[in-house]
Amino acid sequence: MQNPYLPYPVRIDEIITETEDKSLKTFKFVFLNASDEDKFTYESGQFGELSIAGLGEIPIGIASSPVEKGFIKFTVFKTGKVTSYLHAMKEGDIMGVRGPLGHPFPWETLEGKNIVIIGGGFAFTTLRSSIISILDPANRSKFKDIHVIYGARAPGMLLYKEELAEWAQRDDINMNITVDGTDDPDWKYLTGFVPTITEQKAPPGNDDTYAIICGPPIMIKFTQPVLDNLGYSHDNIIMSLENRMKCGIGICGRCNIGKEFVCKDGPVFTLSQLNNMPKEY
Amino acid sequence: MKLIKIDQQNWNTGIEKAKSAYRVFGPVKEKNDYEFKVLGTNEMPDLNFRNTRLSPKSIIYPQSQVMFTYSIDETKDDCRIMKEVENVTSPMAIIGVRPCDALSFPIVRRNFDTPEYQDTYWIKAYEATTFVGLACNSACDTCFCTSAGTGPFGEKGLDVLIIKDGDDFYTKIITPKGEAFAESAGWGKKEQTDITAKIKELKTAAEASVSSTVSTDKLKNKTILDLYDAPFWEEEAFACINCGTCTYVCPTCWCFDVQDETHGKSGIRMRNWDSCMFPLFTHHASGHNPRNNKHERVRQRFMHKLKYYVDKYDSGIQCVGCGRCIRLCPVNIDIRKICDKMNNFDTESCKCEATSS
């Protein structure tokens, strides 16, 4: 019997400060025991529990993609006890990771489909993982058109800026990068809130088109009616939720929304599923 | 199933013998209540109790349990690496488990032992334990076991059921684990006796003494959102002080928190019973709380036991009818009343009332 609460020991290999306010950092972890990497076989959309001895554990979406080998990455917003401590840790420090946990985005369903990826603020981590997976030469032909709408408050608050710029140059992905506002004369992308840009740039909804949305509640609240108007069925709108978690495996009992646990039954749900669940998230 | 009759002397010697093979737990009087304790040499389970203050839940699932140890000494190779604590459980036997409490273990098992994940701590303790039940010859006013999936002579979750009749112990051996316990108590070679008629008589009388019931037949037919949006939650929760007593005394409440505690250079990661009655239970780091209001937390507790669990496992309610939460609630919130409200809630009639008013 495997103890599902035991974290794999990892070393912090690299720390990248993502945003100008330094509130978001990406941590690249390497497994201390190489065989643990095989056990941590994941798909985009899943999450892990980052574990720091003496502080506790935090559930964080996996920002790396399964096509990236030799490490796993998590982008963490500094907000509570564990994340604040993590932000003060150094490259080379040892900690733990448990996972992968939860369900990924429904990749089998998404094969052969158009995908619109809509992200806001720092909820772009599992979306980054998804884009890397989709753009991998072995995978790109499995999907039709890919649209990305990603917004942040300001240019300095965007995650993965270099990758965004690279993707914007490609012709096999339709990038729409936006900020709420900026006075930067060199800003060469869009200005406007995510719902507005979605209205202008997202393809119309049909059976073959799926939207994946991750973002702050306010963004989701205003993007959903836009997708309704564009003709997206609620089965084709896929969201990823967060709730306070401890175990991450559906046992400790706190992250439930109705009878579903966000950790084990989610964090990915379709809007159709969410429509039949209490709004306890 | 084997049925044997044991007299007081054989009972005493049997329990004493069993202690060489098992850590034997039994009810012991402590101040005004009974609690399950490990029985020392010559200490007998005191069977003169109605029910114990707390169920034997904590024997399998301690209120506070060390999961891992760690060192934060940077000079050590294993610094900040979690190490499993030794988790080998020697055989245990719990004597005097009431049938309601016995049913809680198979109910809770569905949470801890799943196809995807096995909670090694709970499962190892559960598997090492033999449950020796004690039938109730008469029920308390707050018992409603007969409508919660068991009864005063219920056998679910038990390896042995003892039925006390005066100085005699009628002993039903239910499972191979029970057989092994009887063997080690020296009861294995006892002749099977025909006491079926006598047991039936006692059982009928005991069942008749259960004076309260709940209705659960219509819980499944309603949608989660119908019951969640029902208009009675604020009113039912009005008196609640969110003390959490109901969750701590409940044999089927299983929620826990995980905390690290460091002393000097070493520490432990442990889990502690937690309660959905507490605001912090669901409080996000951002400050947002999906169950910020008292009535939302009260609703969660009852919806979990009487609807979410029912829908998820299709195996009845997550309640055994022991009545502890009713007896110990400081503001008299009564799960029987709420269960009936939920079961009898008529979505249609409610909609009509709301529209007309």
Q: pLDDT digit string (tens) for A129-138?
A: 999 999 999 9
For B259-290, b/e burial (b = at least 16 CB within 10 A) is ebeeeeeebbbbbebbbbbbeebbbebeeebb
Q: How distant, in Å, are the alpha carbons of A85, B267, B271 from that of B261?
A: 15, 5, 11
CB contact under 8 A, B274 and A6: no
Asked whether the predicted pLDDT for residue B196 surpasses 80, the reply is: yes
The highest-level CATH class for domain A8-101 is: mainly beta
Contact between B198 and B322 under an 8 Å Cβ cutoff? The reply is: no
Interface test with A, best of B220, B282, B303, B305 (most A CBs within 10 A): B282
**A274 vs A166: CA distance, rounded Å:** 35
Read off the pLDDT band of B350 (50, 70, 90): low
Q: How far apart are CA B182 and CA B165, in angstroms?
A: 19
Residue B352 has pLDDT above 60, yes or no: no
Flag whether pLDDT at B355 surpasses 50: no
Distance from CA of B258 to the nearest CA of A (A): 6
What's the confidence (pLDDT) of residue B189?
74
Of A58, A254, A259, the CB nearest to B224: A259
- In angstroms, the CA B160 to CA A250 distance is 32
Total length of chain B: 357
- Taking CA–CA distances from A277, the nearest residue in chain B reads B225
| Distance between CA atoms of residues A248 and A246, nearest Å | 6
pLDDT for the residue numbered B193: 73
CA distance B73 to B70: 9
Q: Which residues pair with B23 in a beta bridge?
A: B92
Q: B225 contacts in A (CB within 8 Å)?
A: 276-278
Tell how strand B266-273 and strand B256-263 pair up: antiparallel
Kindly report the nearest CA distance between residue A237 and chain B, in angstroms: 21
Do residue B283 and residue A278 have CB atoms under 8 angstroms apart?
no
User: For A167-211, how does the pLDDT look when each residue is reduced to its tens digit (9 = 90+)?
Assistant: 999 999 999 999 999 999 999 999 999 999 999 999 999 999 999
Looking at the predicted structure, is the pLDDT value of residue B351 above 60? Answer: no
Name the strands in the sheet holding B256-263, side by side, starting at the edge strand that comes first in the sequence.
Answer: B83-84, B64-71, B266-273, B256-263
Q: What is the pLDDT of residue B93?
A: 97
| Mean pLDDT, residues B5-26 taken together | 95
pLDDT at B346: 87
- Whether residues B260 and A56 touch (CB distance < 8 A) is answered with yes
CA A6 to chain centre: 24
A-chain residue closest to B268, CA distance = A54
Residues B242-258, mean pLDDT to the nearest whole number: 97
SS3 at position B175: coil
Domain ranges of chain A: 8-101, 107-240
List of residues 6+ apart from B225 with CB closer than 8 A: A276, A277, A278
When CB atoms are compared, the residue of B84, B284, B304 closest to A3 is B84
Q: How far is B90 from chain A (nearest CA, A)?
A: 17
Q: In which residue are the tokens 């947002």 written? A: B288
What SS3 state is found at B228?
helix
- Across the interface, whether the CB atoms of B257 and A276 are under 8 A apart is answered no
Range of lowest pLDDT (A69-83, B6-20, B90-104, B343-357): B343-357
Query: Alpha-carbon distance B211 to B223, whole Å?
Result: 30
CATH code for residues A107-240:
3.40.50.80
B258 contacts A57? CB cut-off 8 A: yes
Give the pLDDT confidence score for residue B234 in this predicted structure.
94
Question: Which of A246, A249, A265, A277 to substitute to test the interface with B, most B CBs within 10 Å?
Answer: A246
| Phi, psi angle pair for A108, to nearest 5° | -65, -40
DSSP alpha helix (H) spans, chain B: 8-18, 57-60, 99-112, 120-127, 176-184, 196-208, 224-228, 233-237, 245-249, 294-303, 309-313, 324-328, 335-344, 347-356
Compare all CA atoms of chain B with the CA of A242 and give the residue at the minimum distance: B284
Q: With beta carbons less than 8 A apart as the criterion, state whether B174 and B156 touch.
A: no
Contact assignment for B258 to A52 by CB distance below 8 Å: no
List, for residues B314-327, the tens digit of each pLDDT value: 999 999 999 999 99
Task: Judge whether A56 and A80 are in contact, CB under 8 Å.
Answer: no
pLDDT band at B356 (very low <50, low <70, confident <90, very high): very low
H, E, C per residue of A39-74: HCCCCCCCEEEEEECCCEEEEEECCCCCCCCCCEEE
Is A54 close to B267, i.e. CB distance below 8 A?
Answer: yes
Which of B221, B265, B242 is closest to B76 using CA atoms? B265
Minimal Cβ distance to A7: which of B82, B124, B311: B82
- Enumerate the residues of chain A whose CB falls inside 8 A of the CB of residue B273: none
Instruction: Give the chain B residue nearest A249 (alpha carbons).
Output: B117
- Is it the case that residue B88 has pLDDT exceeding 70? yes
Q: Which residues of chain A have pLDDT under 50?
A: none
CB B160 within 8 A of CB B176: no
Quick check: B274 and A252 CB within 8 A? Answer: yes
Q: How far is B260 from chain A (nearest CA, A)?
A: 5
Cα of B315 to nearest chain A Cα, Å: 14
Contact check, Cβ <8 Å, A278/B68: no
pTM of the predicted model as reported, rounded to 2 decimal places = 0.93
In terms of DSSP bridges, do strands A174-179 and A190-191 run parallel, antiparallel, or are they unpaired?
parallel
Q: What is the mean pLDDT of chain B?
A: 93
Q: What angle do CA B62, B63, B68 make, to 5 degrees?
A: 70
User: Contact A244/B284, CB-based, under 8 Å?
Assistant: yes
Q: What is the pairing mode between strands A260-261 and A256-257?
A: antiparallel
DSSP state of B218: T
Task: Tell me the C-alpha distance between A23 and B147, whole Å.
Answer: 55
Q: Using CA atoms, how far apart are residues B262 and A136, in angstroms rounded to an integer? A: 44
Cβ–Cβ of B70/A54 closer than 8 Å? yes
Q: What is the pLDDT of residue B357?
A: 40
Which residues of B60-158 form beta strands (DSSP E)?
Answer: 64-71, 83-84, 92-97, 129-134
Tokens of residue A272, six digits? 């159709």
Q: How far is CA B313 from CA A238, A260, B145, B308, in A?
A: 26, 12, 19, 9
Residue showing tokens 């051996």 = B173
Which of A4, A53, A255 is opposite residue B72, by nearest beta carbon? A53
Nearest CA in chain B to A82: B285
Residue B186 has pLDDT above 70, yes or no: yes
Structure tokens belonging to residue B54: 């707390």
Nearest by CB to B120, from A1, A53, A278: name it: A1
Cβ <8 Å between A244 and B119: no
DSSP state for residue A235 in the 8-state scheme: G
Contact B112, B119 (CB under 8 A): yes
Subunit contact A278:B228, Cβ cutoff 8 A: yes
- Report the alpha-carbon distance of residue A186 to residue A182 in Å, rounded: 10
**What secondary structure letter does DSSP report for B311?**
H
CB-hemisphere CA count at 13 Å for A89?
29
